[in-house]
Every structure is written in structure tokens, then in C-alpha cells.
Amino acid sequence: MSATLTATPETTAAPAPKPTYKVTFGRVLRSEGSKFLSLRSSWITLAVGLFFLAFVGIMVAYRYNPADLHGPAADSRDAIDISLKGVELSQLALGVLGVLATAGEYTTGLIRSTFAAVPKRLPVLWTKCLVLFGAAIVVATAGAFISFVGGENFLHGKAIALTLSSSGVLRCLFGAGLYLALVTVFGAALGMLVRSVAGGIALLVGIMMLLPVFLDMLPSSWKTDVAPYLPGTAGQSIYSLHTAPGALSSGTGLWVFVAWVAAALIGAAYRVVRSDS
Amino acid sequence: MIELQHLVKRYGDKTAVDDLHFTVKPGVVTGFLGPNGAGKSTTMRMILGLDAPTSGSVTVNGKRYAQHAAPIQEVGALLEARSIHPGRSAHNHLLALALTHGIPRRRVDEVIELTGLGKVAKKRAGAFSLGMGQRLGIAAALLGDPQTIMLDEPVNGLDPEGVLWIRTLLTSLAAEGRTVFVSSHLMSEMALTATDLVIIGRGRLMADTTVAEFIEQAGGDSVKVVSSDAARLREALLGPDVTVTGEAGSETLAVSGLSARQIGQAAADAGIAVFELTPQAVSLEEAFMTLTGDTVEYRSNAGTASKNGAPEGSVAA
Ligand SMILES: Nc1ncnc2c1ncn2[C@@H]1O[C@H](COP(=O)(O)OP(=O)(O)O)[C@@H](O)[C@H]1O
Ligand SMILES: [Mg+2]
């Protein structure tokens, strides 16, 4: 990004006959924020993401019965596991939100208006990611807390019950919010890369959910080596209370997932600058 | 001012724009004419830096488009393909563009009024008719109050009222000293609005001229006049540089050297009833087709158009 795009003071001296407008990073950020808020699809996908996260977690907690061997929570080891059961569905809604924000501009042709106003282009990608990250982290963190606190009553007195003050609980809830916000940015990067809403969603679902299935077909030695580094599995370690055998620690998991997002962003940035729109 | 220097654009082995070299001057409307597929839209996208030239370069008001600190204050453009999100309202679309430059909200309302979108500004742009979509595109082009205005086939899909509105708008913008660059595939449309004329075919420059010069070379501009008193009207019209032809006893005359307006005025002054007064654009359209004839991509269509003598036969539609 060029230095000329950093925010400048709003004031202009001398009563010039023509107003002096200027594109700045801060202004592009405001523009992207306004674009995000003025589309109904943003609100709908955010709401769906929040609903999955909160509703699934609370429902699973409500139905939890330690004696039950087949229920939705039969393999749950702790209350965090239960309250964050909705992350997997929620990440699809938020990933799609990211894809829509970028690929949607190509599909509709809006990108040409956008790049005519901001011909340096990269500020558009960065500010879109900032806006999405900001909106998603607020909603997803709220969802994680709603789910945990909402489910607390139902789990109260059971062996797996935890409270907000239990060790590691806050880390997991904030971790889930951070993970989901990063998935949103990941979706935005993929959308910018493939420039088609359908293609972007397919790629997102493929990478987040189908890659582990595909891995099942490979020799098992590969599987144990590679599986923890897949974006979905690495992401999971960010918001797990206990590190599962063979899985990454929450810190390593976060860095691995950030690396995936960064790789997608670098690809997107390269494509944005290099190719015609 | 738009300056193209040996601009070339290839898509694979297809050359869409082939060594275009010309300058668009301020103060007049410059028509950018060429049959469909000639490379007009591609050229305009390169001017905005949306497509990168394969070779050559183009500057606007002395700089490459992307080098301007406030690009939409330099050039306002309406592109061929709609560049609007259907889910966003016209007002919010314009506001988002304005925010990137720090253009005040008041200006957004101004261009909405100016383009007659006041009633629909809060509605989703996806529900807009083709004509309203064009108006929104033009509102976006005017948002930065730019020195240079570039419109790609602006009259496409507009009703007659809209077409007239565009013509008036373009001439008034040029009269304010701005550079106005407008593309079309219809010579008749350009003859009505443009002063300067750049004609391309298959990406190559065919003519860099003025409308007047082009008309002259095409064998003059003629107006068909039908009147009950053709003989007396002929007397009233004759003068230096004016030729009037018509069969004796016929009510129909072909007049060249005078505009339809001048003829109508002369007839009124002489108290002669006129039943028909038609500028003959056919010859212009044909001259344009002859010029670009061997560059038209789909010959059969062009052939039919000229055979029928359709004044607005869409060349290679
Ligand atoms: N993105 C593109 N990829 C491949 N070919 C293109 C692309 N854009 C335009 N063309 C081709 O370039 C030529 C010029 O197109 P265009 O600039 O749209 O012409 P015009 O606007 O004069 O009708 C056409 O043959 C068109 O098919
Ligand atoms: Mg075109």
C-alpha cells in the first residue's frame, strides 16, 4: 500500500474555487463500512451466523444427558465443547459473508465503480477485510458467550459443567470469536481470488469441510501428519479447552490458521493488482 | 484532456485495440464511433486503468488515471456494463463512492436531483429500468464534478426524453469547458451531439476528424422537405452554398447547405406550409459504414442494414 493513502487531516486551507477531494485509506474504510451496512445480505448472513452459533450450542446443552450414548453431545468432553458445537455451521454463514463482500462486487460489476474511485485497488481489499473482521468478531464473540451462558443452566450440576471463571473458558470463547472472524476474512480473500460468488463458496466449503474428508482417502501416516494443519482442524484447536491427542496447541493452531488466511490474502492481493477488472 | 499514445490491448491472440493514437480536447463533445466490437469499451476501460494496456499508454489531464489523488474529480465515467450492486439503493451507491473521496453528502443529493432520480433514490438499484440504471451511472460520473466526462453508449436503453436529456447535458458540459468523450455505434446519434469525431474499426483508428468535416466528405448534409409550394420554397431557400434539388411538379425537395431549423424558419417567414422536414442521416450512416465497412465483424448484418436503407440500422448488432 502506498504511503499517500494514509489518513490526512480533513481540513483544507485557502478558499479554493474547486473543492480539493482526495482518496485516503480512512475514507476508503468509511466507504467500505457504509457499503457493508447498506446491504441486506450482510445483516442476514451475520444474523444466520449468530443464530447457528447461539442456538445450536444452547440446544445441545439443553438436550445433554451424560447417560446418552448417541445424542448430539454424546462425545462431548466439556461444556465448551457443547457450547461451541455451532461453530462449524456458523463458519459457513460467516465465510459466505466474506465471499459475498468481495466476489459479489465482481458478479454484479460494481467492482469497476469501486476501482474507478480507488484505482490503487489494494486499499479496497484491506479495508473490506477490516470491516468484515470487525463486524464478525463482535457478532461471533457475542454468539459464543450467549451460547455458553445460555447453556450453563442446563449443564448446571453435571460433571462437564464449567463457568466463565473456569480456567481456559474465556480463552476458548474469545478464541471462537477470533476464529470465526478470521474465517470471514478467509472467505473474502477466496472471493477476491476466484471473482465468482458460486466459485468462492465452493472453494470455501471445499477447504474448510471437504479437505478432511479427502484426506481420509490418503495413507494413514500422511493423515496424522497433515490433518492437524488443515485450516478446519487447526482452527478447532484455537477454541478447544483441551488439546486433543495429535492436535495442535491453541497457540500453534491460531498461527497455522492465520498462515492460511495470509496465504489466501497474498494470492488475492496479487490477483487484484495484476489482472484486469 | 485525454491523450492516447499508441495504445494496444490484446486478449490472448485477439487484438481488441490496435495502436490507437489521438487526443480528446476540452470544450467540445468528442464522439467515439465504431461498430460493435470495434474496441470502444476496451479503450475506455484502459483510460480508467481498469484494463492494463498491452503496450502504449494513456493519460487524463496530464497524468495516468491511477496517479490522480482524486480520480473521480478528474474523470467521471459511465461504463458500458452496469457497475452497481442490485441490492443497494441509488443513494447508498453514490454515497459509498463519495465517501472514498471525502465528497460531501450534499453533492450526492445534488447529482440525484440533477439526474432526476429523486423519487427512486431510496429503492434497490436492482429494480431499476435500463434507463434509470443509465441515469444512476451518469449521476456517479458527475459526482466528483469532474473536468473530463466519459460515457460509453449513454443513450442505450433510454426513452426519447432521456436521449434528449443526455444530448443537452453533454453539450452544456462541453460548453462549460469540460472534456466530453462519448461513444456510440450510431453515426446519426453522434451527428446530433458531437463536434469532434474519432472513428475506429476493429481496434484501429479510421478517422480523427470533426462531424462537419465528415459530413462534408460524405457528400454534404441534406434535408428532405415536403411542401405544397415547392417552387416558391426553393426560391426562398436558394443562396450561396445552398443547393436544392427536386423534380418539377413534385412536392419533395432535397436541400443541402441549410439545417432543418433554418429551412423551417425560412418557410415560416415566407408563409409556406411545410409537411415534412427530415434531416437525411442515411447518407452519414452509409458513409460511416463505407469507412468501417471492411472492419465490421459480422458482415451480413451490416449488409442488410444498408440495403434497407434503415437510417439507424444497427451495424453488427
Ligand atoms: N475481457 C475480454 N476478453 C476477451 N476479449 C475481449 C474482452 N473485452 C473485449 N474483448 C473483445 O475485444 C473486442 C472489442 O470489444 P469492445 O471494446 O467491447 O468493443 P465495443 O465497445 O466497440 O463494442 C471484441 O471483439 C471483444 O470480443
Ligand atoms: Mg462497447
- DSSP, residue by residue, A31-66: HHHHHHHT-HHHHHHHHHHHHHHHHHHHHHHHH--T
The shortest CB-CB distance from A34 to any of B45, B73, B92 is to B92
The verdict on a CB contact (< 8 Å) between A22 and B101 is yes
C-alpha cell, A196: 465468482
Residue A59 near residue A160, CB atoms below 8 Å = no
Kindly list the structural domains of chain B, giving each domain's residue range(s) and its CATH number in brackets, ordered by start. Answer: 2-216 (3.40.50.300), 220-292 (3.30.70.100)
Q: Per-domain residue ranges for chain A?
A: 25-274
Compare A8 and B290 and report the one with higher pLDDT: B290
> Which residue in the set B81, B92, B101 is minimally distant from A38, CB to CB?
B92
E strand or H helix that includes residue B220: none
ipTM tops 0.95? no
**Do A124 and A111 form a contact (C-beta atoms < 8 A)?**
no
Q: Which atom of ligand 1 is the closest one to the Cα of B42?
A: 17
Measure CB to CB from residue B83 to each of A20, A113, A119 and give the nearest one.
Answer: A113
Does the beta carbon of A44 lie under 8 angstroms from any beta carbon of chain B? no
User: Pick the residue with more confidence: A71 or B294?
Assistant: A71
Q: ∠ CA(B41), CA(B43), CA(B47), 5° rounding?
A: 115
Summarize pLDDT for A147-166 with one digit per residue, the tens: 999 998 898 888 888 888 88
Question: Which pLDDT value is given to residue B46?
Answer: 97
Q: Which three cell numbers, joined as nine digits, stand for B118?
A: 429523486
Cβ–Cβ under 8 Å, residues B182 and B193? yes
Which residue blocks in A118-230 are alpha helix, DSSP H? 122-155, 169-194, 197-205, 211-215, 220-226
pLDDT reading at A67 higher than 80:
no
A9-28 tens-digit pLDDT: 444 444 456 788 999 999 99
Contact between residue B7 and residue B57 where contact means Cβ atoms under 8 Å apart: yes
Mean pLDDT of chain A: 89
Q: How many helices (H) and strands (E) would you count in chain B?
A: 12, 13
C-alpha cell of B32?
467515439
Nearest to A124 by CA among A11, A235, A29: A29
Given CB atoms, is B127 within the 8 Å cutoff of chain A? no
The residue contributing the CA closest to ligand 1 atom 25 is: B37
Q: Give the largest Cα separation in chain B, rounded.
A: 68
Which ligand 1 atom is at minimum distance from the Cα of B200? Answer: 22
Cβ-Cβ contacts under 8 Å, B61 against chain A: none
**Euclidean distance between CA atoms A15 and A149, whole angstroms:** 58
Distance, CA of B59 to CA of B47 (rounded, Å): 7
B41 in ligand 1 pocket by Cβ < 6 Å?
yes
Does A78 reach chain B within 8 Å, measured CB to CB? no
Specify the pTM: 0.83
Average pLDDT (A77-92) is 91
Residue nearest (by alpha carbon) to ligand 1 atom 11: B16
B69 Cα–ligand 1 center, Å: 29
B242 compared with A183, residue with greater pLDDT:
A183
Tell me the HSE value of B45 on the side-chain side, using a 13 A CA sphere.
22
Instruction: Read off the amino acid at residue A142.
Output: A
Query: Residue B56's closest CA among B18, B17, B14, B6?
Result: B6
Contacts with B65 from chain A: Cβ below 8 Å: 119
Which of B13, B42, B183 has the most ligand 1 atoms within 8 A of CB, as the residue to mutate?
Answer: B42
Mean pLDDT within A42-50: 97
Q: Would you give the DSSP letter of residue B14?
A: E
Which of B10, B48, B63, B83 has the most A C-beta neighbours within 10 Å, making it the best mutation to test the interface with A? B83
Cβ burial of A126 (10 Å; 0-12, 13-18, 19+) is middle
Query: Per-residue confidence of chain B (317 residues) as pLDDT tens digits?
Result: 999 999 999 999 999 999 999 999 999 999 999 999 999 999 999 999 999 999 999 999 999 999 999 999 999 999 988 899 999 999 999 999 999 999 999 999 999 999 999 999 999 999 998 889 999 999 999 999 999 999 999 988 788 888 999 999 999 999 999 999 999 998 888 888 999 999 999 999 999 999 888 877 776 667 889 998 888 998 888 888 888 888 878 888 888 888 888 899 999 999 999 999 988 755 677 777 777 765 555 444 433 333 333 333 333 33
Sheet with strand B148-152: strands edge to edge = B75-78, B148-152, B179-184, B29-33, B196-201, B204-210
Would you say B101 and B73 are in contact if contact means Cβ atoms under 8 Å apart?
yes
Tell me, rounded to whole angstroms, the distance of Cα B99 from its chain centroid: 30
- DSSP class of residue A243 equals P
- What are the residues whose beta carbons fall under 8 Å from the beta carbon of A78, sequence distance 6 or more? A160, A162, A241, A242
- Ligand 2 centre to CA of B187 (Å) is 15
Smallest Cβ distance to A35: which of B48, B52, B96? B96
**pLDDT score, position A225:** 83
Distance of alpha carbon B296 from alpha carbon A84, whole angstroms: 63
Does B292 or A184 have the greater pLDDT score? A184
